[in-house]
Chain A
Amino acid sequence: MEAEGIRRALVRIAHEIVERNRGVGGVALVGIRRRGVPLAQRLARSLFEITGRDVPTGSLDITLYRDDLMRQAVGPQPVLRRTEIPFSIDDRRILLVDDVLYTGRTIRAALDALIDFGRPRSIQLVVMVDRGHRELPIKADYVGRNVPTAARQSVQVKLAEEDGVDEVAIEDVAEEGGSVPAAGGGAP
């Protein structure tokens, strides 16, 4: 999936958001760090082009809510980044944005984190790639592309803001470990 594919997928998702929410009144975007943040910002621009309205946009770091912090006995802690949600999420429809949906554990953590900020009217999930292999009952509301993968493969969404280029790369990872995703990387 190349730059043009990512662009088109985002525009389509923006239209779906507007249709499903009947506009963008009461809607806010929250991107999950890291790559959900530039995706959320791009969606905000698309939504502005479609509706002429600014949609509040924030960023969420889920590290402090991970379910493996006190379990992984060995290894360094994932790097903390700032959470910035400069608006009240109470009674809003929150669009949670991430790059890759995989086990669902990141989204579980993000839901817990969001609930600590207030009581949104609803939370909808936007992902650029759904690669399957869910370990929790979580489903995306808007998907850029469904990509069937094997557990040993790695899926990376690269974005110009973070990586200098827009593309979705699927690579075979060297054996070993299997289902355990690398700490701090992509989507645990």
Chain B
Amino acid sequence: MSTALDAPGTAEGERPEPAPRLRSRHLLSVGDLNREEILLILDSAEAMKEVGTRRIKKVPTLRGATVVNLFLEPSTRTRTSFEIAEKRLSADTLNIAGGTSSLLKGETLVDTARTLEAMAPDMVVLRHSASGACHLLAGVCDARVINAGDGMHEHPTQALLDAFTIREHKPRFEGLKVAIVGDLLHSRVLRSNILLLTELGAKVWVCGPRTLMLPGVERFGVRATTSLDDAVADADVVMLLRVQEERMHGHFFPSRREYFTTFGLTAERLRRARPDVIVMHPGPMNRGVEVASDVADGPVSVILEQVANGVAVRMAVLYLLAGFETNEGTA
């Protein structure tokens, strides 16, 4: 990571150059992306965002391509976001949801993948409750695989859209203090964001109850604390994570009210942050648990921008991955 970029008065021309291409034909983990590839995706997303402002919000780029959205875990916003992105690029889309699939009838993911393969999709967008499901799928099918969230592992496009949103508000990532607060243990959004933000040079703090702390998280180059005030102090960005009660088998905190008292973000507690702080949340929000409503709906909140940017970032990923060879497993 170049420290010269932190120097004041750095000329515009010295901005780091984006990579000319992605190295992998799949998007499985943020860990596979280097800084230049991340910049390529974010720059491409800027162009894609303009498409969404047109009267005809559609371009012919992926005409003739088939994209399967295989969502084997409940999801509304990620699935609709991918679907809009695919439609805006003119791809043919097919949705297979958990409730309607043969997986309920006992078919394994690999068998489902082989069945899909017979329909020759160009890309598969997979959401699965098991960490590593996307890697498994990429190993057995010819289509390009995009990870739309696998278990407690990763959610790469969420981290990319978060970075895109931050970049629209902050001039640079280097030295930016980003506090990520909430259910750290169960969060794939956290894992992807840590990998991405540290690669871009941000200083990341994570904060949550001891019972929901990620063991060994400091090894990723982040600061961990159980004090919300310490995490929020002088923060440029406060990113809240949803308390994922559906993934909690056991008691992690006494009550939602108590969680809110200790870790809920209120306007009062946000005063310790920088005056130009932005507040983010990957959704869906638990109002009155992770965040007070007046903060979530207030002027510092960019939560709805995140949703809008998600479509542009996913269009960019679909476009960039489409540039690779499709068939016959030579890649």
Binding site for A on B (CB under 8 A): 18, 20-22, 40, 43-44, 46-48, 50-51, 54-56, 58-65, 89, 316, 319-320, 322-327
Contact = CB atoms under 8 A, between A and B. Distances in A.
A116 interface: yes
Interface of A: 61, 63-65, 69-70, 72-77, 79-84, 112-113, 116-118
B47 A81 contact: yes
B20 A79 contact: yes
A117 B55 contact: yes
Given A81-B47, A82-B46, A70 B20 contact: no
14 contacts: A61-B47, A64-B51, A64-B59, A69-B61, A72-B323, A74-B325, A75-B323, A79-B20, A79-B44, A80-B48, A83-B51, A116-B56, A116-B58, A116-B59
Given A73-B325, A74-B325, A117-B54, A80 B47 contact: yes
Nearest to B44: A80
Given A83-B50, A116-B56, A76 B43 contact: no
Contacts of B22: 76
Contacts of B21: 76-77
A161 to B, nearest CB: 14
Contacts of A65: 59-61
Nearest to B63: A70
A175 B153 CA distance: 50
Contact of B323 (A64, A76, A112, A113): A76
Contact of A82 (B47, B58, B60): B47
Contacts of B54: 116-117
A141 to B, nearest CB: 26
B101 to A, nearest CB: 28
Contact of B50 (A74, A79, A84): A84
Contacts of A61: 47
B137 to A, nearest CB: 22
